[in-house]
Structure 1
Amino acid sequence: MNVAKISRYLVLIMSLGFLLLSSETFSQNGPSNPSLLEINPPDGPSNDMINAIVGVRLIDGFGGPAVENTTVIIKGNRIIEIGAKNLVKIPTNAIVTDGAGMSLLPGLIDSHFHSANNNKQLSTLLKNGVTTMRDPGHPIRFYQAQHFATSKMPRVYVTGAHLDGYPGVYVEQATLVKDSDHIRSQIAEYVENGASGIKIYFRLPLKYIETVVKTADFYNIPVVAHLELVDADDAIMAGLRGIEHVTSFGTSLADPKDAEEFRKAVQENSNNRRAGRYMLWSKIDLSSDRVKEVIELAVKNNVVLSPTLATFEKQFGDEDVKDYEAKGFKNMHEFVGMAHKAGMKIVTGSHNSGKYVKQGFAYQREMELFVAAGLTAMDAISSSTIYNAEYFGTKDRLGSIEPGKLADLILVEGNPSVDIKAMYSIKKVMLNGEWVEDN
């Protein structure tokens, strides 16, 4: 064994406390209490602080009917009681918020948001209702500014630099994988430094995906992937359960000849994927057996899809949009509806921005696009709350309104269970039991 390989194993030993020599060991003997935590746990009030939100329409995140005229009691940073307004006794020392005419929802969770030491951007995200976000694929150093924040920030989950294959795409944001031992040592290092997930990028060869998944399984943290060159069905068979971007399904759905032409172009130049995605998707026959089989495989294996539709949105009639782009997006959009109808878990990720929405509200646009694809408004809300909490591995404390959960809450003017556009009207945000004030 050479010196470099010994060094990589030492990193792993220090993290685990004992030596593991095979991927099978990783998958079987993982820690029972994984550290699925944000890198910036927010401060909360003392348990002497009691908040009461009174007479509000409750949308708890689980997808059931909204409940009118509800009161929610929060003690410190925890929800302690929920009930009808006329049945819940409000403590005399409670700070009371009148929720009449408004809806109370769990704080929104964004599965796909990138930032680089931009606290102002994250503060805006929080004020627009996103109390938790995950950056899939950026180095943890991109969030050093969080430790010096002077205003409240959403809970930030990180994956560390994405794992990519040579020659890489965004090399300053990537680890270029050398071999399976390198994967194991890198994931150990990421977890030690606060990663609560791992991101695969699209030049990583298929042969390494199983190693990534089994190593992450040891730590009980999820793996997500942006695919372009590896077919989604092959990645799923290798153990992948989290897919970022609807476009990641493209080569597995397309006619094999079209898919091969796309892969060849992207292998030659990564930037060819940008126009190439739309061309590829414009040719996909959504009624084909191939599409049905891939969806069935994803559903069978409990795959979660974060489509980031708003990022790819191109509409007919826009003078800046070519017909093949609009057709390609139309097929992407319809595929998401088909996947949802078949039982695939769809979650909300904003990917920061969209062509057809004001800066800062790509998340809300994503929810609108979900509803337009065939999800109900309640489905879209669940995709944005409890389903994303499950995707992060944090549903024990986030993602729904129920006693014992952390009090990450949003007050929305109107009724988003009837009209999803109400999600643009966020009136108040509570993070960890405290209302977020304007800065």
Structure 2
Amino acid sequence: MKNIFLPILTVSIVFLFSCKESKSSLSKGEKTEENRNTYVIENVNIIPMTEDNKVIENSTVVIKGNKIHSINESTPKNSTIIDGKGKWLIPGLIDMHVHNLSNGSFSKGYPTRGATLSFNTQNLMTPYIASGVTTVFELSGRLGHFSQRDKIASGDIIGPRIAIAAVIDGEGNEIVARSPLEGRQSVRNAKGMGYRFIKVYTWLNEATYKAIIDEAEKQNMKVVGHIPSAFEGKQAEEFFVPHFGLIAHAEELSKQTDDYSYETAQNFARLAKENNTWLIPNLTNLVSIRKQAESLESIETLPSLKYAHPLMQDKWLTSNGYYGASDESIEYYQRQVDFHKLIVKAFKEADVPMLAGTDAGISGVVWGFSLHDELELLVDAGLTNEEALATATRLGAEWLEIDDKIGTIETGKFADLVLLNENPLENISNTTEISAVFVNGQWLNKNKINNMLAELEAWNEANKENFKWKNRKSL
């Protein structure tokens, strides 16, 4: 969505730090795993989310350290027993399109001044964990996100695994490339800084866009992102190029055409299939934008709003860029919402993999909680409950190339798990019926989750007056 990320990108100006983990931090992490309890979930129904996805009923799952130790084998002595009777175990959920806040400043500083606006990392990560989201893909990467990732990896913060993409744009972002030469060098620089993924963005010219994608392939870096505006009005064959591996949201396709027919959606799906380009439908963002354009009630009544940072709460309610849109804009948003459903249908028909992502962090889309909205919208667009779950588990892990570690419930994989009170294969909304979450082997029962949310809500409420969007330049 043009310009919708700018507030988050502004907030996310960060100070430099080393991206390499120290030996001491690794040692701390290793000690944490060694000292963790062994947990045994008894009589639980496992939805493994493997390709055959055969439900394993009344099972015993042993979690030792941060790994799934065994399934339906003997129970180790001195284990912590969890009663899973009548409950359902699924892999931890993955949101493949998020924008996390990170430390920064709204005003120009001096060389030795640090960030004037700092965020409590645990507060930022709690909504994910409370929602069973144990892995996220950060698509507006800043060096501060590496710091957040490493705090989580060391065990200092309870949060999701974080994959991070560097944004390369033709203007407006931190990494700017206006020629193929600059584009190639930007990819190499990003790799040297520790990024594993490249995000191409809206204002790249055609030649630079293609050079970035080509160089990323040479550097063994996967590419996600926007379809640049330079391609608007041109044939879709121009922007579907090999190694452009993942479209950030269906809106990237709908802005390329005025013909919102199923035939157009099918053509996009055909080209995506030919180029092995996957899709994040990201239905949540346009549904949310469409509602905000007409009224702020959808934000004011949002149950999860209280868990968003107070600065964002205030911005979404007092400086909302969508509210008050013209009737023509509202009609356009609605046409996009409807067309995106056709895109999901066509991509499913063409057997093009789709991944769950929400644009978490844009106006009205709350981190963690929004993924459950996305799953419901995907089902409404034509996916089965199981297919929707796959977009937020196995398939996300596969695209990130960490499917040997997460994404399914199998022995030897990390213990990122969500224990549900009801079966999500019967009703996708049951993913919200969370009884407990395992985060890298750490067990958080419902009481612990509720306490974490209560602390976050209390902090946000107590600090509302300190974070007014109109006063942001003084922060």
- 2:239 is paired with a residue whose SS is helix
CA-CA distance at 1:413 after TM superposition: 1.5
- Matched-pair contact (CA < 8 Å) for 2:68–2:412: yes
- Matched-pair contact (CA < 8 Å) for 2:149–2:161: no
CA distance in 1, matches of 2:67, 2:74: 17
Q: Structure 1 residue aligned with 2:74, among 86, 89, 104?
A: 89
CA-CA distance at 1:175 after TM superposition: 1.3
Query: 1:302: which partner in 2?
Result: 276
CA distance in 2, matches of 1:419, 1:412: 12
Deviations 1:385-419 (A, max 9, x none): 11001111111111111112111111112000110
- 1:227 is paired with a residue whose SS is coil
Change (3 A) 1:204 1:403: same
Query: 1:144: which partner in 2?
Result: 147
CA distance in 2, matches of 1:136, 1:359: 13
- Matched-pair contact (CA < 8 Å) for 1:353–1:362: no
Aligned positions of 1:419-434 closer than 5 A: 419-434=427-442
Q: Structure 1 residue aligned with 2:169, among 141, 155, 164?
A: 164
Query: 1:396: which partner in 2?
Result: 404
Matched, 1:245 2:249: yes
Q: Structure 1 residue aligned with 2:131, among 128, 133, 136?
A: 128
Residue 34 of structure 2 aligns to which amino acid in structure 1?
A: S
Query: 1:55: which partner in 2?
Result: 43
Query: 2:68: which partner in 1?
Result: 79
- Matched-pair contact (CA < 8 Å) for 2:204–2:228: no
Query: 1:101: which partner in 2?
Result: 86
Q: Structure 1 residue aligned with 2:416, among 383, 399, 408?
A: 408
- Matched-pair contact (CA < 8 Å) for 1:377–1:420: yes
Deviations 1:155-178 (A, max 9, x none): 111112x1111xx2xx2x431103
- Matched-pair contact (CA < 8 Å) for 1:104–1:409: yes
CA-CA distance at 1:197 after TM superposition: 0.7
Change (3 A) 1:430 1:201: same
Query: 2:6: which partner in 1?
Result: none
Q: Structure 2 residue aligned with 1:311, among 285, 288, 296?
A: 285
CA distance in 2, matches of 1:331, 1:157: 30
- 2:426 is paired with a residue whose SS is coil
CA-CA distance at 1:382 after TM superposition: 0.8
Deviations 1:346-382 (A, max 9, x none): 1001211688887741100000011111111111111
CA distance in 2, matches of 1:164, 1:122: 27
CA distance in 1, matches of 2:362, 2:198: 25
Q: Percent identity?
A: 26
Aligned positions of 1:354-369 closer than 5 A: 360-369=368-377
- Matched-pair contact (CA < 8 Å) for 1:46–1:76: yes
Residue 104 of structure 1 aligns to which amino acid in structure 2?
A: L
Query: 2:227: which partner in 1?
Result: 227
Residue 309 of structure 1 aligns to which amino acid in structure 2?
A: L
Query: 1:12: which partner in 2?
Result: none
Change (3 A) 1:329 1:388: same
CA-CA distance at 1:218 after TM superposition: 3.1
- Matched-pair contact (CA < 8 Å) for 1:78–1:406: yes
- Matched-pair contact (CA < 8 Å) for 1:377–1:418: yes
Residue 69 of structure 2 aligns to which amino acid in structure 1?
A: I
CA distance in 1, matches of 2:40, 2:58: 13
Change (3 A) 1:110 1:93: same
Matched, 1:328 2:336: yes
Deviations 1:127-160 (A, max 9, x none): 2111111111332235535556753121111112
CA distance in 2, matches of 1:248, 1:350: 14
Deviations 1:169-208 (A, max 9, x none): xx2x431103333233322332233212110001112212
CA distance in 2, matches of 1:73, 1:145: 29
Change (3 A) 1:355 1:304: same
Change (3 A) 1:359 1:111: closer
- Matched-pair contact (CA < 8 Å) for 2:95–2:356: yes
- 1:340 is paired with a residue whose SS is helix
- Matched-pair contact (CA < 8 Å) for 1:284–1:331: yes
- 2:358 is paired with a residue whose SS is coil
CA-CA distance at 1:57 after TM superposition: 1.3
TM-score of the superposed pair, with normalisation by structure 1: 0.75
- Matched-pair contact (CA < 8 Å) for 2:40–2:79: yes
Alignment RMSD, CA only?
2.8
Matched, 1:291 2:265: yes
- Matched-pair contact (CA < 8 Å) for 1:109–1:132: yes
Change (3 A) 1:48 1:384: closer
CA distance in 1, matches of 2:421, 2:371: 17
CA-CA distance at 1:224 after TM superposition: 0.3
- Matched-pair contact (CA < 8 Å) for 1:116–1:143: no
Deviations 1:88-128 (A, max 9, x none): 32111222111112111111111100012242122211221
- Matched-pair contact (CA < 8 Å) for 1:228–1:247: no
Query: 1:351: which partner in 2?
Result: 359
Q: Mind listing any 5+ residue stretches in structure 1 that lack a counterpart?
A: 1-34, 259-282
TM-score of the superposed pair, with normalisation by structure 2: 0.69
Query: 1:67: which partner in 2?
Result: 56
CA distance in 1, matches of 2:188, 2:82: 45
- Matched-pair contact (CA < 8 Å) for 2:237–2:271: yes
Count of residues in Structure 1 that have an aligned counterpart in Structure 2: 361
